[in-house]
Structure 1
Amino acid sequence: MKNFFFYFATVLIWGSTWIGIKMQLGTVDPIVSVAYRFGLATLLLLAWCKLFRLEMSFSRRQHLFMAAQGILLFGFNYLLFYIAELYINSGLAAVLFSTILLMNVMNGAIFLGQPIDKKVIIAGLFGLTGIVLVFRPEITAFSLENHGLRGVLLCVAATLLASFGNITSAYNQKSNKLPIIQTNAYGMGYGALAMLAVAVFSGKTFLFEVTPLYIGSLVYLSVFGSIIAFGCYLTLVGNIGADRAAYATLLFPIVALIIATIWEGYHWTPSAAMGIVFILTGNIIMVHKGWKMPWSLKRKVLVPAKAEK
Structure 2
Amino acid sequence: MSDATATPMPGPVSVVNEPRWMVPLALFALYVIWGSTYLGIRYALVSYPPFLLAAIRFAVAGVLLFAVLRIRGAALPTARQWRNAAFVGTLLLAGGNGLVCFAEQSVSSGIAAVAVASMPLFAAVFGGIYREWPTRGETIGLLLGFAGVIVLNLGAGLSGAPLGAIALIVAAMSWAFGSVWSKRQDMPSGPMNTAAQMLCASVSLAIIALLRGERFPPHPEPSATFALAYLIVFGSIVAFSAYLYVLKTVRPALATSYAYVNPPVAVLFGVLLAGEHVGVYELAGMAIILVGVGIITMMRVRKA
Shift of 1:208: 6.0
Write the deviation string for residues 54-77 of structure 1: whole angstroms up to 9, x where unpaired: 112x32211111111111111133
Partner of 2:132: 114
CA distance in 2, matches of 1:205, 1:269: 35
Residue 178 of structure 1: SS of its match in structure 2?
A: coil
Provide closer, same or farther for how the CA distance between residues 283 and 221 of structure 1 changes in structure 2, counting only shifts above 3 A. Answer: same
CA distance in 1, matches of 2:137, 2:43: 39
Q: Does 1:158 align with 2:157?
A: no
Q: Does 1:199 align with 2:209?
A: yes
The TM-score with structure 1 as length reference comes to 0.70
Write the deviation string for residues 158-217 of structure 1: whole angstroms up to 9, x where unpaired: 322211221233234xxx263231011111101101111222233322236566523332
Partner of 1:75: 94
Of 233, 242, 245, 1:223 maps to 233
Amino acid paired to 1:257: V
Shift of 1:254: 0.9
Q: Is the 8 A contact 1:95 1:135 kept in 2?
A: no
Of 82, 95, 98, 1:63 maps to 82
CA distance in 1, matches of 2:263, 2:123: 19
Provide closer, same or farther for how the CA distance between residues 214 and 276 of structure 1 changes in structure 2, counting only shifts above 3 A. Answer: closer
Partner of 1:189: 199
Partner of 1:18: 38
CA distance in 2, matches of 1:103, 1:283: 10
Write the deviation string for residues 110-141 of structure 1: whole angstroms up to 9, x where unpaired: 13x435244444345555555666775326x7
Q: Is the 8 A contact 1:73 1:161 kept in 2?
A: yes
Partner of 2:159: 142
Provide closer, same or farther for how the CA distance between residues 18 and 85 of structure 1 changes in structure 2, counting only shifts above 3 A. Answer: closer
User: 1:37-116 residue pairs with structure 2 within 5 A?
Assistant: 37-56=57-76, 58-84=77-103, 93-94=112-113, 96-111=115-130, 113-116=131-134
Q: Is the 8 A contact 2:55 2:203 kept in 1?
A: yes
Amino acid paired to 2:301: W
Larger Rg: 1
RMSD of Structure 2 on Structure 1 (CA): 4.0
CA distance in 2, matches of 1:99, 1:188: 23
Shift of 1:34: 1.0
Aligned length: 278
Partner of 2:301: 295
Q: Does 1:27 align with 2:44?
A: no
Provide closer, same or farther for how the CA distance between residues 8 and 170 of structure 1 changes in structure 2, counting only shifts above 3 A. Answer: farther
CA distance in 1, matches of 2:290, 2:52: 36
Q: Percent identity?
A: 26
CA distance in 2, matches of 1:265, 1:78: 23
Amino acid paired to 1:295: V
Q: Is the 8 A contact 1:92 1:138 kept in 2?
A: no
CA distance in 2, matches of 1:90, 1:259: 9
Shift of 1:253: 1.9
Shift of 1:95: 5.3
Amino acid paired to 1:116: P
Q: Is the 8 A contact 2:155 2:281 kept in 1?
A: no
CA distance in 2, matches of 1:9, 1:117: 33
Q: Is the 8 A contact 2:151 2:282 kept in 1?
A: yes
Shift of 1:277: 5.5
Write the deviation string for residues 79-136 of structure 1: whole angstroms up to 9, x where unpaired: 444445566666665554333222101212313x435244444345555555666775
Instruction: Structure 1 unaligned segments of length 5 or more: list them.
Output: 297-301, 304-309
Amino acid paired to 1:37: R
